[in-house]
Chain A
Amino acid sequence: MKLRLLTILFFLIGVFYTNAQEPELQSSMVRGSEIYNDFCVACHMPAGEGIPFVFPPLAKSDYLKQQRTASIKGVKFGQEGELIVNGETYNNTMAPMGLDDGEIADVMNYIMNSWGNSTNEMVTIKEVEAITE
């Protein structure tokens, strides 16, 4: 219980801190978390941990960090075939979710800045728009 309060406190401090820095990123992440809990959570799980050998993790994912464009492309157009994440090979299908470019930018900002992930550069609608099949 104490631990949980402490976690919440840290979370709030974190939120205020980031908020003060980057209100734009922050509001994109809030929208992104709604998208995540609607479209992604059933496979990638609440803390981005994925399901071992079936659905790759997003939390602390080397693929997500190193393959930014490919990751956005996967969300936009779907993902199929082999994918190596943190040394583990996944071979599965993710259907395109039918999200618009703004929703994709939001959910990318959420997953790229949650669960120990962080990025210096915010994903923008423009960036998503520019990625083609």
Chain B
Amino acid sequence: MKNSITYLYLFVITLNFSCAQEPENKANTPNSIPFTAELFVDGLQIPWGMAFLPHGSMLITEKSGDLIHFQEGKKNHIANVPKVYVRGQGGLMDICLHPDYETNGWLYITYASEEGNEKGGHTALMRAKLKDNILYDNELLYKAGPNTTKGQHFGSRIAFDNEGYLYFSIGERGARDENPQDITRDGGKIYRLNDDGSVPEDNPFINEKGAKTAIYSYGHRNPQGLVKHPETGEIWDHEHGPRGGDEINIIEKGANYGWPLITYGINYSGTPITDKTEMEGMKQPIHYWVPSIAPSGMAFVTSDKYKDWKGSLLVGSLSFQYLERLTLDGTKVTNREKLLENMGRVRDVRQGPDGIIYVAIEGKGIYKLIPKH
């Protein structure tokens, strides 16, 4: 009798333990850190995106609408930046150089814009060239609609693939039941364009009646990480879930990523959104976070400067305020660790052309991770 009670007790403990494992996917604190963090650009409020110009200078977007050219230790304010709709999570957002920037000079910017007839704003993509700290030849390439005064989910990361296609994300703008599953509407999508803004002829919904033909994949919530995998050339995203259920996805042509029909998260209020985490015809993430880390910014490490970091993925956490490093075995996450803890909300992370990692932290600035030898 006593024995069986002990067994029952052990069984219950094991049960609790195994239940606790899955949702509690905790990140470890590493024993040795192969860098020291040095403040490289100070005095920034919400540095949303970064890009590296050919001669060692850097472009930084401030969400408030300021585009900064950081050159030889000085911050220069760039003129002729598009008018930005600053509301809620929207503002001046990502910036990205054309892969052939050195020959054509195009840089691409996403921002929240009031362009259009309705009140409010929505995500826009433009390109321009830069000379003497002035943007010129500005071209609006995409403007999502209709505008809304909602404050959420502008998405906005930009990435190029190996074929020169441009991808960018737009979040579902706080209309989860209208936008993400409807390919005739903007929002909750990853888009693919040619570098001049035209729609590629082999885009997945090019022949669908009423569809927004720039759409490449749908069923997203709010992707604020978008990068090309350095080896496979695939585009990877990460996106904010609701309460729990942030995801990393590999973006496939025409695929549906399920929001809000399937999710590993719940409403902020604690009530369920759906009881389904998977459905036929919808893609599964390669990784999901419960609780949410609120991911923003994403970079693969390709340099050899940080010991065994090569091949791992860096992701900023807004809500827990750290930089996460995910070790990957192919598409499987094998370990997660926390870096730069308690320094502030990590908004963006990039590897520079010098192989060094740069991290944008709100209220602080851009940190450079100097490798330890």
Question: 10 smallest A-B Cβ distances: which pairs?
Answer: A98-B87, A93-B363, A39-B151, A93-B362, A46-B269, A98-B86, A38-B151, A41-B268, A39-B88, A46-B268
Q: Are A38 and B362 in contact (CB under 8 A)?
A: no
A67 CA to B321 CA, complexed, in Å: 26
**CB within 8 A of B174: which of A38, A54, A78?**
A38
Q: How far is the CA of A45 from the CA of B267 in the complex (A)?
A: 11
Q: Are B151 and A92 in contact (CB under 8 A)?
A: no
CB of A54 within 8 A of CB of B151, answer: no
Sampled A-B contacts (29; CB under 8 Å): A37-B268, A38-B88, A38-B150, A38-B151, A42-B268, A45-B268, A46-B268, A46-B270, A54-B319, A54-B320, A54-B321, A78-B45, A80-B363, A81-B363, A92-B362, A92-B363, A93-B345, A93-B363, A95-B45, A95-B46, A95-B64, A95-B91, A96-B86, A97-B87, A97-B88, A97-B151, A98-B87, A98-B90, A99-B87
**Shortest beta-carbon distance, A70 to chain B, in Å?**
18
Shortest C-beta distance, B85 to chain A (Å), equals 7
Complex formed: what's the CA distance from A38 to B362 in Å? 21
Is B45 a contact of A98 with CB atoms below 8 Å?
Answer: no
A125 within 8 A of B: no
Beyond A95-B45, A97-B151, 4 additional pairs, beta carbon < 8 A: A39-B88, A51-B319, A92-B344, A93-B45
Contact B268 A98 (CB under 8 A): no
A37 / chain B contacts, CB cutoff of 8 Å: 268
CA of A98 to CA of B45, assembled, Å: 15
A31-50 near B? 1/0 per residue, CB < 8 Å: 00000011101110110000
B152 lies within 8 A of chain A by Cβ: yes
Asked if residues B45 and A80 are in contact (CB atoms below 8 Å), the reply is yes
Chain B residues with CB under 8 A of A51: 319
Is B238 interfacial (CB-CB < 8 Å)? no
Q: A38-B151, A51-B319 are in contact. Are A93 and B86 (CB under 8 A)?
A: no
The residues of A that contact B90 with a CB separation of less than 8 Å are: 98
Chain B proximity of A89: nearest CB distance (Å): 12
A 84-105 to B, binary, CB cutoff 8 A, 1 in contact else 0: 0000000111011111000000
State how many residues of chain B have any CB contact under 8 Å with chain A.
25
For chain B, residues 38 to 55, give those with C-beta under 8 angstroms from any C-beta of chain A: 45-46
Measured between alpha carbons, how far is A34 from B286 in the docked complex, in Å? 34
Which of A46, A78, A95, A96 is packed against the most chain B CB atoms within 10 Å?
Answer: A95
Contact with A38, one of B63, B152, B294, B345 (Cβ below 8 angstroms): B152
Give residues 17-76 of A contacting B (CB, 8 Å).
37-39, 41-43, 45-46, 51, 54
Q: For B151, give the chain A residue with the smallest CB separation.
A: A39
- Shortest distance between the CB of B258 and any CB in chain A (Å): 21
B150-A93 in contact (CB<8A): no
In the bound complex, how far is the Cα of B112 from the Cα of A97, in angstroms? 13
Min distance, Cβ B160 to any Cβ of chain A, angstroms: 28
Q: How far is the CB of B165 from chain A (nearest CB, A)?
A: 32
Given A51-B319, A97-B151 in contact, is the A92-B345 Cβ separation under 8 Å?
A: yes
- Which residues of A are found within 8 Å of B85, using beta-carbon distances? 98
Which A residue sits closest to B267, measured CB to CB? A46
Given the complex of chains A and B, what is the CA–CA distance between A96 and B88 in angstroms?
A: 8
Nearest CB of chain B from residue A55's CB, rounded to whole Å? 8
With A39-B88, A46-B268, A46-B269 known as contacts, the answer to whether A93 contacts B151 (CB < 8 A) is no
In the complex, the chain B residue whose C-beta lies closest to that of A97 is B88
Bound CA–CA A58/B321 (angstroms): 20
Q: Return the CB mask of B325-348 against A: 1 if under 8 Å, else 0.
A: 000000000000000000011000
Residues of A contacting B45 in the complex (Cβ-Cβ under 8 angstroms):
78, 80, 93, 95
Residues of A within 8 A of B150 (CB): 38
Taking CB atoms, residues of chain B closer than 8 Å to A91 are 344, 363
CB distance from A131 to the nearest CB of B (A): 18
Report how far A92 CA is from B347 CA in the complex, Å.
13
As a 0/1 sequence over residues 2 to 19 of chain A, the CB contacts with chain B under 8 angstroms (1 = contact) are 000000000000000000
**Complex: chain A residue closest to B269, CB-CB:** A46
Please name all residues of chain A whose beta carbon is closer than 8 Å to the beta carbon of B269 when the two chains form the complex.
Answer: 46
Docked CA distance A46–B319 (Å): 15
Residues of A within 8 A of B87 (CB): 97-99
Most buried by A among B45, B151, B152, B294: B151
Q: Which residues of A contact B345 (CB under 8 A)?
A: 92-93
Interface string of B87-99 (1 = CB under 8 A from A): 1101100000000
The winner among A39, A42, A92 for most chain B CB atoms within 10 A is A42
- Nearest Cβ in chain B — how far from A52, in angstroms? 11
Cα distance A39–B150 in the bound complex, in angstroms:
8
